[in-house]
Structure 1
Amino acid sequence: MEIKKSRNTEKQNLVKKTLSETEHAMSAEDIMDAIPIKVNKTTIYRILDRFVEKGDVHFVTGKNGKAYYALCNSCGTSHEIHNHIHFECQVCKEVTCQPNTLHIPSLEGFTIQETQFLVIGICNKCKK
């Protein structure tokens, strides 16, 4: 997917590249530390907000209250409704998207605008 040209194109490309090269969701701070040039946190958040708005990236709020971002690969067309589980390991602190999809029920009298599913435990790497 091509990114719209703007003054932050290099930074946007680095953020997207960083997210594409990891198997887990990343916080803005993790992304900031991983990219090879200095970019302030506000710029990282603006880029991530743009990506979320476009449907390229989704996020889940971790137990610590931080947002963790991941590229949307198979979220479907409704990027507000992420019907898969996110797993947060209490040992290594990684947040990963899981392949399990969930059925989002219709709630009479309510309009669902966003869903987040976070399961907390210990991942297989840390169990060993």
Structure 2
Amino acid sequence: METKKTRNTEKQNLVKEILSKTKHTMSAEDIMNAMPLKVNKTTIYRILDRFAEKGEVHFVTGKNGKAYYALCNNCEGSHEIHNHIHFECQICKEVTCQPYTLSMPDLDGFTIQETQFLVIGICNKCKK
């Protein structure tokens, strides 16, 4: 049985390019609005899900319940658990990856498959 290969489509390349040009995370809607060609949100989510499965992006759920995505640049390990902190600003609403990691506890009898660490407050840019 042959393994199905995923093509690098123009839309996938555009999503990566858009994420690579931002210093904060982006929602699927933000990415869709930044696309230079018409792409529906379902297609964006499929691309992001594929990237997440391959360890190319990670996401965190914001206070509003939306998923915010970022490229995995300096992520360590197998990309299964992202144990760095994300900060959501209550004024500008940007969600950013922070360079601080948390150690994962050993939960006897449990297998951790995903973590999300969201700290909410006011960013330095908005404090000024």
Q: TM-score range by the shorter chain?
A: over 0.9
Write the deviation string for residues 59-81 of structure 1: whole angstroms up to 9, x where unpaired.
Answer: 00000000000000122122121
Q: Is 1:99 matched up with 2:99?
A: yes
On the 8 A contact 1:81/1:114 being kept in 2, the answer is yes
Q: How does 1:65-76 map to 2 (within 5 A)?
A: 65-76=65-76
Name the structure 2 match of 1:5. Answer: 7
Alignment RMSD: 1.2
**Counterpart residue number, 2:31:** 31
User: Matches of 1:118 and 1:89 in 2, distance apart?
Assistant: 10
Q: How many positions carry a matched residue from both structures?
A: 124
Alignment correspondent of 1:48: 48
Shift in Å, 1:109: 1.2
Is 1:14 the counterpart of 2:14? The answer is yes
Contiguous gaps of at least 5 residues in structure 2: 1-5
Cα distance in 2 for residues equivalent to 1:50 and 1:40: 16
Deviations 1:74-127 (A, max 9, x none): 221221210100000000000000001111111111110000000000000000
Contact 1:88 1:118 in 2 (8 A): yes
Contact 1:75 1:83 in 2 (8 A): no
Q: Which amino acid aligns with 1:59?
A: F
Structure 1 residues without counterparts, runs of 5 or longer: none
Give the TM-score of the pair, scaled to structure 1.
0.93
